Amino acid sequence: MESIKQGPFKQSSPDAASTIPILTHGTGANYVKESAQQVTSGASAEANKAVAKDSNAPLRTRASAAKDYVSDKAHEKKHDGKAESHYQRI
């Protein structure tokens, strides 16, 4: 049987060749998903930061926004780490 070339890999069977792109696409999709969640968390963190700094907002609102800011920054870093991990697998 003739060898099938796909990217840098040479496969001897069509079944083996079809599994490589699925792994790569799944990993790529996870990278995109985690990157999007990172951006979303970052944007939410910045919005909460602005509310926490707003001297016209009630104290309870500012305190809640500050708490949410810390949580959003933690999520942002978590998603950044996961995205980087998925990127390294591509």
Cα 90 from Cα 88, distance rounded (Å): 6
pLDDT in tens, the chain (90 residues): 444 444 444 445 555 445 444 456 788 899 999 999 999 999 999 999 999 999 999 999 999 999 999 999 999 999 999 999 989 987
Q: Euclidean distance between the first and final Cα of the chain, in Å?
A: 29
pTM over 0.85: no
Provide CB contacts within 8 A for 49, sequence distance 6+.
Answer: 65, 69
